[in-house]
């Protein structure tokens, strides 16, 4: 685990219920077989990564401006203040690069929540750079996700469904300064500007628009062989 794309920080976890694994297995298998990146929510997973990579990563007032590094929820809405995705109908949530966090977030009314359970982006922006083909990138991504050991999620103590989704091939652009690569000290032309091709694999959760009010979203995951674990609590206010 020495290159950028094998760092545990890429394994961003968010939501599912271990208690309903058996019931959800058909949905997992159906989406997991979509090698062409055309499964349910596939385009949204690519958009989620593009959103994450586009946000600067700077430590400000004891937290960070990138939603994955944000320790409070203060920057959960960066780049999506009024929603995101087709017709701005979604509000993305992020996990962490490992470890525990509690966030307090206000969600715009009439926005569906979309977030990764346990996921990874794989491309050739590594140190040293590689020249993997798309099938090779997909195989690397699948290997990480197959290492998942356990997951759980609840919204107000009610389990949340999930899907395993392979993204289409996509590209993303990082900021000229204070990119997430800069934050982790990764330097080189392969980490600058537009990165292409990229693919993602992982488990994702979707929650339809919630009525105004307060909610608690809790989730976690482990990948024992990778030494990865995560527990996240979101205190959500929909208004």
Residue 117: per-residue pLDDT: 81
Residue 126 pLDDT more than 90? yes
pLDDT band at 102 (very low <50, low <70, confident <90, very high): very high
Biggest CA–CA distance in the chain, Å, is: 48
pTM, two decimal places? 0.86
φ and ψ at residue 93, rounded to 5 degrees: -120, 155
Helix (H) or strand (E) holding 237: strand 228-238
Task: Pick left, alpha or beta for residue 202 (phi over 0 → left; psi -120 to 50 → alpha; otherwise beta).
Answer: left
Alpha helices in the chain (DSSP H): 21-32, 42-54, 134-145, 180-183
Percent of the chain with pLDDT over 90: 79
Which residues make beta-bridge pairs with 13? 118
The pairs formed by 37-42 with CB atoms below 8 angstroms and a separation of 24 or more are 37/166, 37/167, 37/168, 37/169, 37/199, 38/168, 39/163, 39/165, 39/166, 40/163, 40/165, 41/114, 41/163, 41/165, 41/204, 41/206, 42/165, 42/166, 42/167, 42/168
Residue with tokens 């990948």: 223
**Residue 219 near residue 152, CB atoms below 8 Å:** yes
Query: Stretch 147-156: mean pLDDT, rounded?
Result: 94
Task: Pick left, alpha or beta for residue 45 (phi over 0 → left; psi -120 to 50 → alpha; otherwise beta).
Answer: alpha
Q: Report which of residues 26 and 49 the model is more confident about.
A: 49
pLDDT tens, residue by residue, 45-86: 999 999 999 999 999 999 999 999 999 999 999 999 999 999
So where are the chain's domains?
4-238
Name which of 130, 128, 75, 77 is nearest 107 in CA terms: 77
Q: Exposed/middle/buried for 113, CB within 10 Å: 0-12, 13-18, 19+?
A: buried
Whether residue 197 is preceded by a cis peptide bond, meaning omega within 30 degrees of 0, is yes
φ and ψ at residue 80, rounded to 5 degrees: -150, 40
Query: Stretch 174-198: mean pLDDT, rounded?
Result: 98
**Residue 118 near residue 151, CB atoms below 8 Å:** yes
Residue 216 pLDDT more than 80? yes
- Alpha carbons 36 and 49: distance in angstroms, whole number: 18
- Alpha carbons 55 and 52: distance in angstroms, whole number: 6
């Amino acid at each position: 685990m020495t290159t950028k794309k094998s760092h545990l920080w890429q394994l961003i976890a968010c939501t599912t219920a271990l208690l309903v694994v058996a019931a959800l297995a058909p949905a997992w298998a159906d989406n997991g077989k979509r090698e062409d990146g055309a499964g349910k929510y596939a385009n949204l997973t690519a958009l989620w990564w593009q959103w994450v990579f586009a946000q600067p990563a700077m430590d400000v007032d004891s937290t960070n401006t990138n939603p994955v590094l944000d320790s409070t929820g203060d920057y959960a809405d960066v780049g999506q203040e009024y929603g995101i995705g087709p017709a701005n109908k979604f509000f993305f949530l992020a996990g962490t690069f490992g470890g525990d966090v509690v966030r307090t977030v206000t969600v715009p009314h009439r926005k569906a929540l979309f977030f990764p359970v346990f996921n990874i982006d794989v491309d050739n922006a590594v140190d040293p750079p590689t020249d993997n083909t798309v099938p090779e990138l997909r195989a690397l991504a699948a290997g990480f996700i197959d290492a998942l050991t356990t997951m759980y999620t609840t919204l107000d103590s009610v389990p949340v469904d999930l899907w395993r989704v392979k993204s289409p091939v996509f590209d993303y652009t990082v900021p000229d300064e204070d990119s997430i690569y800069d934050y982790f000290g990764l330097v080189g032309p392969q980490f600058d500007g537009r990165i292409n091709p990229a693919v993602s694999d992982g488990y994702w959760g979707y929650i339809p628009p919630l009525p105004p009010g307060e909610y608690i979203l809790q989730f976690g995951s482990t990948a024992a062989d990778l030494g990865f674990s995560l527990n996240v609590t979101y205190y959500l206010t929909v208004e």
